[in-house]
Chains A and B, each alone.
Chain A
Amino acid sequence: MAAKTTDSKMSRRRFLRNSSYVAGGLVGGGLLGGLIGSRFNPETETASTGSVDSDHGTANQAQLYFTNPEKFEILQHAVERIYPKDETGPGAIDLGVPFFIDHQLAGSWGHNAREYMQGPFFPGSNFQGYQSPLKRNELFDVGIDRLDSYSQEKFKNKFTELEGEQQDEVLKDFEADKVKMRGATSKTFFNQLRAATLEGVYADPAYGGNLNMEGWKMKSFPGHQMSYINQIESDKFVEIKPKGLHSY
Chain B
Amino acid sequence: MAKTLPKTDVVVVGVGWAGSIIAAELGKEGLKVVGLERGRERGLKDYSMIHDELRYGIRYELMQDLSKETLTFRNNMKERALPMRQLGSFLLGEGLGGSGVHWNGHTFRFLPYDFEIRSKTVEKYGEEKIKGLQLQDWGITYDELEPYFDKYEKAAGIGGEENPFGGKRSNPYPNPPMKETPLTKRFKDAAKTLGMKPYHMPSANMSEAYENQYGAKMAACQYCAFCERFGCEYGAKADPTVAVIPFAKNTGNFELRAHSNVTEVIHDGSKATGVKYVDVQTKEEFIQPAEIVVLTSYVMNNTRLLLSSKLGRPYNPDTGKGVIGKNYCYQILPGTTGFFDDEQFNTFMGAGALGATVDDYNGDNFDHSDVDFIHGGSISINQSGARAIQHNPVPQDTPRWGKEFKKQSIKYFTRSMNIGTQGASMPTRTNYMDLDPAYKDAYGQPLLRLTYDFSDQDKNLYNYIGKITDQIMKEMGASFINDRSPLEHYDIVPYQTTHNTGGVIMGAEKETSAVNNYLQMWDAENVFVVGASAFAHNGGYNPTGTVGALAYRAAEGILKYSKDGGALV
Contacts and interface: CB of A to CB of B under 8 A. Distances in A.
Interface stretch (B102-110, B262-270, B344-352): B344-352
A88 B49 contact: no
B41 interface: no
A216 B70 CA distance: 35
B386 to A, nearest CB: 8
Contact of A168 (B402, B407, B438): B402
Greatest chain B CB density within 10 A among A81, A109, A202 is at: A202
Interface residues of A, number: 62
Given A128-B82, A227-B223, A232-B181, A238 B346 contact: yes
Interface in A81-134: 81-84, 86, 88-89, 109, 112-118, 120, 122, 124-131
Interface stretch (B29-37, B253-261, B484-492, B546-554): B484-492
Nearest to B58: A199
A225 interface: yes
Contact of B82 (A114, A124, A221, A234): A124
Given A126-B491, A129-B84, A232-B223, A245 B350 contact: no
Interface string A166-177: 001001000100
B224 A227 contact: yes
Interface string A211-230: 00001101111111111110
Contacts of B344: 237
A183 interface: no
Contacts of B223: 227-229, 232
A131 B413 contact: no
Contacts of B70: 116
A28 interface: yes
A198 interface: yes
Interface stretch (B71-79, B282-290, B497-505): B71-79
A136 B75 CA distance: 26
Give the most central of A118, A222, A226: most B CB within 10 Å.
A118
A211 to B, nearest CB: 14
Contacts of B49: 245, 248
Contacts of A245: 49, 51-52
A88 B406 contact: yes
Contacts of A28: 403
Interface in A151-192: 168, 171, 175
Nearest to A120: B438
Contacts of B60: 114
Contact of A81 (B66, B389, B402): B402
Contacts of B403: 28-29, 84, 86
A167 B439 CA distance: 41
Contacts, number: 168
B346 A114 contact: no
Chain B contact surface mostly: loop
Contacts of A40: none
A128 B51 contact: no
Given A88-B406, A126-B491, A232-B179, A225 B224 contact: yes
A30 B294 CA distance: 63
A235 interface: yes
B46 to A, nearest CB: 14
A120 B83 CA distance: 10
Contact of A203 (B84, B345, B389): B389
Contacts of B491: 126-127
Contacts of B475: none
Contact of B346 (A171, A202, A223, A228): A228
Interface in B58-73: 58-60, 65-67, 70, 73
B544 interface: no
B66 A220 contact: no
B80 to A, nearest CB: 6
Interface in B434-472: 438-440
Interface of A: 28-29, 81-84, 86, 88-89, 109, 112-118, 120, 122, 124-131, 168, 171, 175, 194, 197-199, 202-204, 206-207, 215-216, 218-229, 231-235, 237-238, 245, 248
Interface of B: 48-49, 51-54, 58-60, 65-67, 70, 73-75, 79-80, 82-86, 88, 179-182, 220-226, 344-346, 348-350, 354, 386-389, 392, 400-403, 406-407, 409-410, 413-414, 438-440, 489-493
13 contacts: A84-B403, A122-B82, A125-B74, A128-B73, A198-B392, A199-B58, A199-B389, A220-B413, A221-B413, A222-B348, A225-B51, A226-B224, A231-B346
| 9 tightest Cβ-Cβ pairs between the two chains A and B | A202-B388, A224-B51, A227-B222, A228-B349, A203-B54, A237-B344, A221-B388, A127-B491, A116-B70
Given A84-B406, A116-B70, A206-B52, 7 more contacts: A128-B74, A128-B82, A203-B54, A204-B54, A221-B348, A225-B51, A228-B349
